[in-house]
Amino acid sequence: MATPVIMPRQGQSVESCILTEWKVNVGDQVAEGDVLAVIETDKASFDLESTASGSVLALFWEADDDVPVLANVAAIGNEGEDVEEFRPEGQGGASAPVAEAPTPAAADSVAQSTSPVATTVPAAAPAGGSLVASSGVSPRARRLALKHGIDPESLPGSGPEGRVIERDIEAVISGRPRLSATARARSLAEDLERPARGTGLAGMVRSQDLKVPGSVEGAEISPVKGIRKVIAERMIESLQTTAQLTLQASFELTKAQAYRKERLDAGQSKVSLNDVIAHGIIKTLAEHPEMNAHFLGDRIATFEKVHLGVAVDTPRGLLVPVISNASDLSIEQVSAEVKKLAGACREGTISPDNLSGGSFTLTNLGMLGVETFTPVLNAPEVAILGVGGIVLKPKRTESGEVEHVDTLPLSLTIDHQAVDGAPAARFLQSLVERLENTPGA
């Protein structure tokens, strides 16, 4: 009996996964544990492994589909076994055919034997394995269409009762360029666009002349999918549903750098400037709880503890793992958690549960040479802090002389629906004072 393969639950907070890529085709032989597909949650990527050995009988979803967890995604078994009982409601997908479909020639024969005017007859089965209905195509029209790589079933007919006849095919041919045999096969199989004139002899369109629909001359076109699609949707949603205001400040690095050196001299673990800032945010939020909140339209949820999100750049895109209950941790523990979560993000092993539930986010572009920028809110959070690169600034000493010191720019974006400018400015002021005077405390 065939065995279904289900979409696994990737963490308690995940309700669906994006099936980004199939690694197998219907008919392939697989063993238990073989990779069938690549799946993604909101931002993490995983391999979907087979839970049985045998032949791939059906793939119930297409690439880029958003598949509910615990739904059947494929069926594995012996050739010829029925898989319809496992097919999710409303899903087609690809299946191994259970019966041979009639050929185009056979369909024409049926059409001629029933009536001078073809009504509805079975046509050749498409890739999905099920039969589709034809509106009627004359034998001469079908032969001419197949010769020129045209799908006659997709054309409106000018014959009796809408039947597609030879002149309908000729009209299409007259408005289309000549295609090489390879180009004709590719254009039908991959649904590619044909240019008005190709690079072949007398303008013949060759395989390399075909284009992806919507392509732009001189540009490579790639679909927006997976993590990039999720990020795009969340960024535009953030800007459309929040009133974002950004405040700028900077703090002098003298004592923060001295604190880091003292730790090393005392044999303590190394902490980065980002760790010092993260710890400073956590401590300062205890004094300004209105910044540690979610705006929910008609409600504001203020958190008792800080759940700090830290943006991480990965090959798959921007991920924001969350340090839960960060307010209970020491600076050493915060530093260790940041390293652990960032590593899991870059390796693709981060749990989806670690990518949600943040109450405040920290993002740092300073290491990439960016001095200041405007971070976008990770809604429904009401605030996010951006950190830029080190900038040398003049400072007037108590004696009146001017000296240059290293400073670090900070950019605080708030949701003005939930937080006013003055409270946000006070939070930023408190954070600067802490980082300048008692870093790590």
Question: Residue 221 and residue 289: Cα distance in Å, rounded?
Answer: 46
- What pLDDT is stored for residue 289 in this prediction? 97
Please report, as a single letter, which amino acid is at residue 157.
Answer: G
Supply the pLDDT for residue 218: 67
Give me the CATH code for the 226-437 domain, please.
3.30.559.10
Percent of residues, the chain, with pLDDT higher than 90: 51
The pLDDT of residue 10 is 75
The pLDDT tens digits for 197-244 are 777 655 667 777 887 766 666 677 677 777 788 888 889 999 999 999
For domain 104-209, the CATH architecture is Irregular (4.10)
- Alpha carbon distance 288, 270 (integer Å): 28
Tell me the Ramachandran region of residue 10: left when phi exceeds 0, alpha when psi lies from -120 to 50, beta otherwise. beta
* Residue pLDDT, tens place only, 184-193: 777 777 777 7
Query: Chain-centre distance of CA 28, in angstroms?
Result: 27
368 near 332, Cβ under 8 Å? no
The strand pair at 293-295 and 300-302 is best described as antiparallel
- Whole-angstrom CA distances from 70 to 59, 200, 396 are 15, 51, 64
pLDDT, residue 120, reads 34
Instruction: Sort strands 54-59 and 29-30 into parallel, antiparallel or unpaired.
Output: antiparallel
Task: Break the chain into its structural domains and give their ranges.
Answer: 3-95, 104-209, 226-437
User: What pTM, to 2 d.p., does this model score?
Assistant: 0.62
Beta bridge partners of 17: 67
What is residue 424's predicted lDDT score, i.e. its pLDDT?
Answer: 98
Mean pLDDT of 128-133: 36
* Phi, psi (rounded to 5 degrees) for 291: -90, -15
In this predicted structure, the answer to whether residue 354 has a pLDDT above a threshold of 80 is yes
Tell which wins on pLDDT, 386 or 204: 386
- Which of residues 344 and 164 earns the better pLDDT score? 344
Q: b/e string for 275-303 if b means 16 or more Cβ within 10 A?
A: bbbbbbbbbbbeebebbbbbbeeeebeeb
Q: Locate 414 and state its tokens.
A: 């708030």
Q: What is the pLDDT of residue 18?
A: 82
Beta strands in 196-336 (DSSP E): 244-252, 293-295, 300-302, 308-310, 312-314, 317-319, 322-323
For residue range 39-83, list pLDDT tens digits in order: 887 657 788 999 999 999 999 988 878 788 889 999 999 988 988
Between residues 86 and 203, which one has the greater pLDDT?
A: 86
Residue 296 pLDDT exceeds 80: yes
User: How much is the average pLDDT of 84-108?
Assistant: 59
For residue 378, the SS3 value is: coil
pLDDT at 106: 40
Class of the CATH-defined domain 3-95: mainly beta
pLDDT tens digits for range 404-429: 999 999 999 999 999 999 999 999 99
User: What's the pLDDT tens digit per position in 7-33?
Assistant: 988 776 677 888 888 999 999 999 999
Residue 102: what pLDDT?
Answer: 44
For 297-352, the pLDDT digits (tens) are 999 999 999 999 999 999 888 899 999 999 999 999 999 999 999 999 998 888 88
